[in-house]
Amino acid sequence: MRRFILSGLLALCVFSLFAQHHSLSDTIVLEEVSTYATVKKYQAGAKVESISAEQLDIAQAGSLNDLLGRFTPLYLKADAGGLATIRFRGTSADHTSINFGGININSLTLGSSNFSSVPMYLFDDVDLQYGSSSAVNGSGSIGGAVYLGLKNNWTDGFRVQATGSFASFGEQLYGTKVYVGNGKFESVTRLYYFTRENDFTFRYPQDGKEYTQRGARIENMGLLQELNYRFDSQQWLKTSIWLEDDWHEKQPEMASSVGDNLVISGLDNEHIRLWSEYENRNHAINYKAGVGYVRDVQIDGENNEQKISTDRLVAELEGKQDITTNFGYKAGLKYMYVEPDVYSYSAAVIDYEQRADLYASAFYTAWRKLKLTLNLRQQFVTDFEVPFTPSVGAEYRLYTNALSIVKLNGNVSRSYRVPTFNDRFWGVQGNPDLNPEKGMNYEMGIQYQYCSEVFQTDLKLNGFYMDVDDWIEWRPTGTNGDWVPENRSRVISKGIEFTSNSDLFFDGYDISISLNYSYNPTEIKEDGLNRLVGKRLIYTPEHIANTFIQFKYNNWSLSVDGSFTGDRQVDYSGSIANPEGNLLDAYAMLNCGISRKLIVLEQPISLRFNVRNVLDNDYQNQLNYAMPGRSFQLSLSTDLKFYKNN
């Protein structure tokens, strides 16, 4: 069945390919995209960033892991074989929510998402919220949140886009997007197929010899179908169906990869994600209602007897009103019904689970300088007690003139995470008596914005302090050495973040420069094991920095981006000879690319050539797992439009 779907997907992509040819801040220019404006509206003082269109374009042939790893001060623990998880501000992989419409796509069994299997080709927009947002996004948003967005096109006519990308180590991407509409009804179909052999060479530290990586192949495919109808300018119905089939071989450690008896096994994940939402803004109280369905299935090594799957139904109703331009509120109810089908769960322990959220938010602006926001949330979970979650934010315009603004901002928020199904119900090791993780997040920052005809810049400096109690970890315990989850720790994560985005325009040139830096020391403040108190969390670098520079002139574009990742504690195997345990060395990466837009046979064509890991650095992102060296990528894209109204 996979091969049949793959063949059809490939044929459609290839046919489409050959058959056709800055804003300063959210207060100045906002495109009609996903969530940036609404997130900021009710969360003054929170740090929310949008990935630029130029960076999204560069990474469109890659994954969410590739995008965030290159252009943000975030750490993603990843191998080369298709698995990547995020560490947002020092927190764990299950402390970040990934939001698509009204759905958090994180696995309910694991609590996290694989960032390598989220394709950038399907999405128009990615927004990031740094710090706790449980009062807005619910369980799990302790470290941060990611919002995947789709543009509101309301196509009036016909448009086809297609992309083909080819890179080193057997990497290929084929994608097509088809837009059809009459201004009221719109269908958008997005298809992609991605594969990578990952047959790169690496140096094995034990003998200094070079070997070819085996057992790290990736094969992903997906469809995102939008069906939208606009009744009038203030009333519409939007439906998105996202189907994914993600398969990868489980990359072996280097010692196994170079051995003679390598056993290769694959991991297959299938996802159905549907979200349909009706919104009406024709009345004093605007309202929207949404329904969703998610099915996640994982098969390990083609062993159908060890299936891990969940089905969930989601429904949400929300009303909001801006009483004046200075004051508004919203309130809503969200409900979720979940049925797990996991081979290691006992039906006597879990048959289904229900969750309900009541939430309310408000904003108030005083003297046109001070904005205050309040968010309240209470979740109810079957046979589980969840804490009340408020947040308060403030933003003050300290100075303004015709060209510049200086803002001060602050935010205090409570966060929580309901333990995953695996935490509570896995075999005999699961612990149904776990407490939810509970955190407090404190944020302060200053922002400077300047905008003229030839130069604009946006500078931000943020400081944060996060205190998380009842931190859950799986650790070996008992005489038989079983791993069990326990509320073992209290963790402190703190730090500073600097962000700079600037654009310079002159004589037809457009120069963009961005810089990110994060200093994030973490500490286990309390723990059941005294020897761990004072240790920093594993896989949380204290220092992360990256920069992005792009030059545009006429139809040419040249870009360079570089990143630095500090050393990381990878375990707590301390000894007299190695008191700190194993550490992964710091590393730096450099990438560059050039692109050209041209017209061939009256069809628009875009060509892009990228070089990744220009310096061919040898590094590890996960202990004992090889990573690819220098690679080359060539992409070809075209865009055919038949619009009735341009």
User: Look-up: residue for tokens 């891990």?
Assistant: 308
Check residue 275 and give its pLDDT. 98
How far is residue 216's CA from residue 209's CA, in Å, rounded to a whole number?
19
Comparing 19-33, 477-491, 494-508, the range with the smallest average pLDDT is 19-33
Which residues have a Cβ under 8 Å from the Cβ of 290 and sit 6 or more positions away? Answer: 101, 102, 275, 276, 277, 278, 314, 315, 316, 317
Q: How confident is the model at residue 19 (pLDDT cuts 50, 70, 90)?
A: very low
- b/e map 25-49, b = 16+ CB within 10 Å: beeeeeeebbbbbebbbbbbbbbbb
Which CATH number fits the domain that encloses residue 84?
A: 2.40.170.20
Which residues have a Cβ under 8 Å from the Cβ of 173 and sit 6 or more positions away? Answer: 61, 121, 163, 164, 165, 192, 193, 194, 635
Rg of the Cα atoms in the chain: 24
Q: Each residue of 188-247: pLDDT tens digit?
A: 999 999 999 999 999 999 999 999 999 999 999 999 999 999 999 999 999 999 999 999
Check residue 24 and give its pLDDT. 38
Check residue 222 and give its pLDDT. 97
Check residue 34 and give its pLDDT. 46
Q: What is the dihedral of CA 528, 532, 535, 541, to 10 degrees?
A: -90
The distance from CA 445 to its chain's CA centroid, rounded to whole angstroms, is 23
The pTM of this model reads 0.92
Q: How confident is the model at residue 17 (pLDDT cuts 50, 70, 90)?
A: very low
Three-state SS at 537: coil
Check residue 302 and give its pLDDT. 75
Three-state SS at 7: helix
Maximum C-alpha span of the chain = 74
User: Look-up: residue for tokens 């096109």?
Assistant: 153
19 membership: H or E segment, kind and range: helix 2-19
Check residue 571 and give its pLDDT. 84
For the chain, what is the domain count?
A: 1
User: Look-up: residue for tokens 């990869």?
Assistant: 257
Helices (H) and strands (E) in the chain, counts: 7, 34
The distance from CA 384 to its chain's CA centroid, rounded to whole angstroms, is 28
How far is residue 251's CA from residue 249's CA, in Å, rounded to a whole number?
6
Residue closest to 72 by CA, chosen among 153, 126, 149: 126
Comparing 45-49, 411-415, 451-455, 568-572, the range with the smallest average pLDDT is 568-572
Which residues have a Cβ under 8 Å from the Cβ of 246 and sit 6 or more positions away? Answer: 82, 114, 117, 220, 222, 268, 269, 270, 271
The identity of residue 495, as a single letter, is G
Residue 15 in this model has a pLDDT that exceeds 50: no
Which residues have a Cβ under 8 Å from the Cβ of 520 and sit 6 or more positions away? Answer: 89, 90, 493, 494, 495, 540, 541, 542, 544
Q: Each residue of 352-375: pLDDT tens digit?
A: 999 999 999 999 999 989 999 999
Which residue range(s) make up the domain with 249?
A: 2-21+25-643
Lookup: tokens for 126: 């990615």
Burial environment of residue 218 by CB neighbours within 10 A (0 to 12, 13 to 18, 19 or more): buried
Residue closest to 220 by CA, chosen among 352, 122, 138, 326: 122
Residues β-bridged to residue 631: 612
How far is residue 3's CA from residue 356's CA, in Å, rounded to a whole number?
40
Check residue 256 and give its pLDDT. 92
